[in-house]
Each structure stands twice: as C-alpha cells, then as structure tokens.
C-alpha cells in the first residue's frame, strides 16, 4: 500500500465496510478494504477501510452529511 493512507473505518462486518467504501468511491474519495479476518474463522479480526490522508476531513464530512454512523 502506498504512503499517506490512513485507517478510516473498522468493522467485523464485511458488508458494512463495503458500504462505507462504496459511498466514499461514489463521492470521488479513493478507498480500499483490507481484510484482516482469519480465513478459517470469520469471528476473529476486522475489515478496515483506508483512504488517503488528505481526504480524511472530506470523508468525515460526507459521512455526517449522509447520516452514516461510523
């Protein structure tokens, strides 16, 4: 992963993380998922959404405007 990426969201639910990622991408904020869950047991580990550091404040504002709880 390139430099200047920051963790924006963490969840144990893949679908919640994917929704957050898609909202960000639809609003022209680059986002990627990093799956840190154990492959054999989905109850351990997290799914993390990363964005560029310079997009962080815009991403927070976007979530607030759309009433998406993090």
φ/ψ of 36, rounded to 5, equals -110, 20
Residue with tokens 């957050």: 20
Q: Residue 18 is inside which H or E element, if any?
A: helix 14-26
Question: Can you give the residue ranges of every domain in the chain?
Answer: 5-65
d(CA 36, CA 44): 8
What is 5-65's CATH number?
3.30.70.1530
Closest CA to 12 of 33, 42, 51: 42
- Residues 19-69 pLDDT 10s: 999 999 999 999 999 988 766 666 678 999 999 999 999 999 999 988 876
- Residues 5-33 pLDDT 10s: 999 999 988 899 999 999 999 999 999 99
pTM of the model: 0.84
């Amino acid at each position: 992963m390139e430099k200047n990426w920051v963790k924006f969201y963490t969840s144990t639910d893949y679908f919640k993380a994917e929704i957050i990622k898609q909202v960000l991408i639809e609003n022209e904020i680059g986002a990627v998922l990093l799956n840190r869950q154990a492959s054999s047991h989905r109850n351990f580990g997290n799914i993390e959404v990363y964005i560029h550091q310079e997009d962080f404040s815009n991403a927070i504002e976007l979530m607030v405007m759309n009433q998406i709880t993090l």
